[in-house]
Amino acid sequence: MTENIQAVYQGCFKDLNEIKVSPMSRAYLFSDSIYEVIPFQNRKLICPQEHFRRLSHSASELKIIIDIQKVQEEVSHLFNNSSHEDGYIYYQISRGVDDIRSHIYSPDISNETFGYLTPIKFLSKSLKVGICEDIRWGRCDIKTTSLLGNVMQMNNFNNQNCDEIIMHRNNIITEGGASNIFFVIDKTIYTPKLSKNILPGITRDLLIDLIKENKISFEEGDFLIDDLTKASSIWFTSSTKGIADVTEVIDFNINLDPNNELLKKCKDLYNLKISN
Ligand code: PMP
Q: Is the Cβ atom of 237 under 6 angstroms away from ligand 1?
A: yes
The preferred substitution site among 45, 47, 145, 179 for testing ligand 1, maximizing ligand atoms within 8 Å of CB, is 179
Q: How far is CA 79 from CA 12, 47, 112, 117, in A?
A: 15, 14, 20, 7
Q: Is the Cβ atom of 175 under 6 angstroms away from ligand 1?
A: yes
CA atoms within 13 A on the CB side of 260: 25
State residue 137's pLDDT score.
97
User: Are the CB atoms for 208 and 257 separated by under 8 Å?
Assistant: no
Q: Which atom of ligand 1 is nearest to the CA of 177?
A: 3
Ligand 1 centroid, distance to 108 Cα (angstroms):
31
The preferred substitution site among 238, 241, 270 for testing ligand 1, maximizing ligand atoms within 8 Å of CB, is 238
For ligand 1, atom 1: residue with the closest CA: 179
Active-site residue identified among 63, 70, 143, 267? 143
pLDDT digits (tens, 9 = 90+) for 222-231: 999 999 999 9
Q: Which CATH class is domain 6-119?
A: alpha beta
Specify which residues 7 forms β-bridges with: 14, 116
CATH number of 127-275: 3.20.10.10
The preferred substitution site among 47, 145, 193, 199 for testing ligand 1, maximizing ligand atoms within 8 Å of CB, is 199
Nearest CA-CA partner of 53 in 68, 40, 64: 68
For ligand 1, atom 3: residue with the closest CA: 178
Q: 3-state secondary structure string, the chain?
A: CCCCCEEEECCEEEEHHHCCCCCCEHHHHHCCEEEEEEEEECCEECCHHHHHHHHHHHHHHCCCCCCHHHHHHHHHHHHHCCCCCCEEEEEEEECCECCCCCCCCCCCCCCEEEEEEEECCCCCCCEEEEEEECCCCCCCCCCECCCHHHHHHHHHHHCCCCCEEEEEECCEECCCCCCEEEEEECCEEEEECCCCCCCCCHHHHHHHHHHHHCCCCEEEECCEHHHHHHCCEEEEEECCCEEEEEEEECCCCCCCCCCCHHHHHHHHHHHHHHHC
pLDDT digits (tens, 9 = 90+) for 178-206: 999 999 999 999 999 999 999 999 999 99
pLDDT band for position 239 (cuts 50, 70, 90): very high
Q: For residue 200, what are the contacts with CB-CB under 8 A and spacing of at least 6?
A: 54, 141, 194
Q: Is the Cβ atom of 203 under 6 angstroms away from ligand 1?
A: yes
Active site annotation includes 44:
no
State residue 3's pLDDT score.
56
State residue 1's pLDDT score.
47
Ligand 1 centroid, distance to 101 Cα (angstroms):
30
User: Are the CB atoms for 78 and 87 separated by under 8 Å?
Assistant: no
Specify which residues 246 forms β-bridges with: 127
pLDDT at 2 over 80: no
Q: Is the pTM of this model over 0.85?
A: yes
pLDDT digits (tens, 9 = 90+) for 89-128: 999 999 999 999 999 999 999 999 999 999 999 887 889 9
Mean pLDDT, all residues of the chain: 96
Q: Is the Cβ atom of 199 under 6 angstroms away from ligand 1?
A: yes
Give the start-to-end residue ranges of the domains of the chain. Answer: 6-119, 127-275
In the sheet with 44-45, reading across from the earlier edge strand, the strands are 12-15, 6-9, 112-119, 87-94, 33-41, 44-45
Q: Is the Cβ atom of 179 under 6 angstroms away from ligand 1?
A: yes
Q: Which atom of ligand 1 is nearest to the CA of 140?
A: 3
